[in-house]
Amino acid sequence: MDQLQFSTSLINDPCGIVEEKDERATAKEKISDAHMIEADVLLRGDNEPIMAHPPETDSDITLHEWLDQVFSSEKGIKLDFKCIEAVLPSLQILAAMKATVKQPIWINADILSGPGGKAKAVDAKEFINSVMSYFPDVTLSLGWTTGWHPGQENQGYSWEMVQDMEKICKVLSQPVTFPVRAALLRQSWPQFQWLLKTSERFSLTVWAGKDDTYPVEDLLFIRDNSEKCRIYYDVFEPQNSDFKCAIEQSRI
């Protein structure tokens, strides 16, 4: 099985865009083209951290094997944790390989319930304390569980949700990026504009579910009303290409 099958390749461009490559690309293409590589980490029954995306619960690719591959590529790493049980053993593996780490690392988890979120949030205090004990300077990627349903009125991020996150993160010293769902962000922009103003350490990573629908104008609005260096985008096609095209058109 391909060692990067469970990863998402991320590419940065000068516009502050984080572009998601086609998952059908080969491992060689992903390693050569990507600036950052994201992967989900779960804990197998034998307490071995593995690379798998829910609802899958097993894999023949361990975290250690995956890190060996990615470290040799010198690409940035984003580890996405779906359960708190996988965090500590994964950090221990990463710490043991610390001497070979040359690239930036982001550690991600959804630590609060968000709009439409059904999944269980990762315990915020335990997650942050675990990461801080091993990597106090790493970039934290802290998000909300969310849901989106076509044909329905989907609520955005409430002030309470955003303020609760700010209370957690204001005492931290390292950079924090907040993954926010593109289809829910435009209606919640006043809340996130406020959040970004509370600390220069904060940024947003705008992401999209594969089946989410939203106008590209929403992405343009966010880009035009924020510091470009503090907003990243992780969206699927065709929105990604439409977004780039709209940016180029705006420069004419």
CATH number at residue 104: 3.20.20
Give the residue, 134 or 18, on which the prediction is more confident. 134
Domain count, the chain: 1
The confidence score (pLDDT) of residue 8 equals 43
By the 8 A CB rule, do 234 and 20 touch? yes
- Domain containing 92 equals 9-250
In a domain, 34, yes or no: yes
Q: Which residue has the higher pLDDT, 81 or 235?
A: 81
pLDDT in the model for residue 1: 31
- For residue 4, being part of any structural domain is answered with no
Is the N-terminal amide bond of 55 cis, ω within 30° of 0? yes
| Distance of alpha carbon 134 from alpha carbon 136, whole angstroms | 6
Q: Is the pLDDT of residue 37 over 90?
A: no
Note the pLDDT of residue 51. 87
Our CA angle for 194, 17, 134, nearest 5°, is 70
pLDDT at 244: 86
Centre a 10 Å sphere on the Cβ of residue 136 and count the other Cβ atoms it contains: 10
Asked, for residue 63, whether it belongs to a domain, the answer is: yes
| Residue 244: partners with Cβ closer than 8 Å, 6 or more residues away | 15, 17
The arithmetic mean of pLDDT across residues 133-151, rounded, is 94
Are the beta carbons of 42 and 18 closer than 8 angstroms? no
Q: For position 6, what pLDDT does the model report? A: 35
Q: Is residue 3 domain-resident? A: no
How many Å apart are CA 143 and CA 151, to the nearest integer?
A: 25
Task: Give bridge partners of residue 144 from the DSSP assignment.
Answer: 112
207 inside domain: yes
User: What's the whole-number mean pLDDT along residues 121-134?
Assistant: 97
Is 143 domain-assigned? yes
Model confidence at 54: pLDDT above 80? no
The rounded distance, in Å, linking the Cα atoms of 208 and 236 is 7
- pLDDT interval class at 240 (50, 70, 90): confident
